[in-house]
Amino acid sequence: MEKTLPPLSPGTLYLVATPIGNLEDITLRALRALRECDVIAAEDTRRTGQLLKHFGISRPLLSYFRFNEAKRTGQIIERLGRGEKVALVADAGSPGISDPGERVVSAALAAGFRVEPVPGACALVAALTASGLPADEFHFIGFLPHKSGQRRNKLQTLKSSPGTLVLYESPYRMERLLRELNEIFPDRSVVLARELTKKFEEFLRGKPAQLLEIVKKQSWRGEFVVLIDNSQPARQDTD
């Protein structure tokens, strides 16, 4: 006898992880949440619309991105107050991880509403587990600041953080980042992960100077996950 799954709970914000590349990585639970929710708050309604179309799902969409977070958060809280079931999705991966989501989660919790994660694909975890670098302790930075001074200051402070350092970076700033790493972390092992879960998934491994020579000869699309082995910072920084 098939077990009946419980329905979604009214007045609940569901944080639904979506594929980071390979559409097969979406979970059965995520599909059910998207089908049964009252509205989907999406970082990019066009991109989410394509995802929904692929899986034959038709639900109302509400745009929710960095520049309208304040306004949309209030509207989402109002919907939760009416007992609606709201699914929040990012362009890819888990909402709130270097994507919009933190503000509405905080507001929902402050207003007394339930927030429920619907976990799934995450570039951070996918890259870390396949990198070959220590995964027992890691520090996730997200995206570095764009301004050179702020970037260097941030990287300098990370020298004392033990474990594997993990950050996201645009392909247009990879050469710049590797030059910075070559100055600040010249002897560390670095892994660049790109096209994760897609056909041309690739992991590049080496010291910053070695990877810099590779990157200078390439033209890539798509964000990178950059991992730096800083598991023994004190010993490595000793002259």
Q: Check residue 238 and give its pLDDT.
A: 42
Euclidean distance between CA atoms 95 and 119, whole angstroms: 10
What pLDDT score was predicted for residue 99? 80
Which residue type is seen at 46?
R
Tokens of 239: 């002259």
User: What is the spatial distance between Cα 64 and Cα 57, in angstroms, rounded to a whole number?
Assistant: 19
pLDDT tens per residue, the chain (239 residues)? Answer: 346 788 999 999 999 999 999 999 999 999 999 999 999 999 999 999 999 999 999 999 999 987 788 889 999 999 999 999 999 999 999 998 888 888 999 999 999 999 999 999 999 999 999 999 999 999 999 999 989 899 999 999 999 999 999 999 999 999 999 999 999 999 999 999 999 999 999 999 999 999 999 998 888 888 899 999 998 864 444 44
Alpha helices per DSSP H over the chain: 28-36, 45-54, 69-81, 102-110, 123-131, 148-158, 174-184, 208-215, 233-236
Q: Which pLDDT score is estimated for 233?
A: 66
Q: Rounded to whole angstroms, how far apart are CA atoms 10 and 75?
A: 16
**Is the pTM above the cut of 0.85?**
yes
Q: Which two tokens stand for residue 27?
A: 């979970």
Query: What pLDDT is attached to residue 202?
Result: 94
Given this model, what pLDDT does residue 68 score? 84
User: What pLDDT, on a 0 to 100 scale, did the predictor assign at position 239?
Assistant: 42
Other CB atoms closer than 10 Å to residue 34's CB: what's the count? Answer: 22
> Residue 197 corresponds to which tokens in the numbers above?
């879960």
d(Cα 58, Cα 36) in Å, to the nearest integer?
Answer: 10
pLDDT at site 65: 84
Instruction: Report the alpha-carbon angle 188-174-141, nearest 5.
Output: 65
Do the Cβ atoms of 105 and 97 come closer than 8 Å? no
Within the chain, all domains assigned CATH 3.30.950.10 are found at: 123-236
Enumerate the CATH 3.40.1010.10 domain ranges in the chain, comma separated: 12-118
- Is 123-236 a domain of CATH 3.40.50.300? no
The helix (H) or strand (E) run that includes residue 238 is none
Please give the single-letter amino acid code of residue 19: P
CATH code, 12-118: 3.40.1010.10
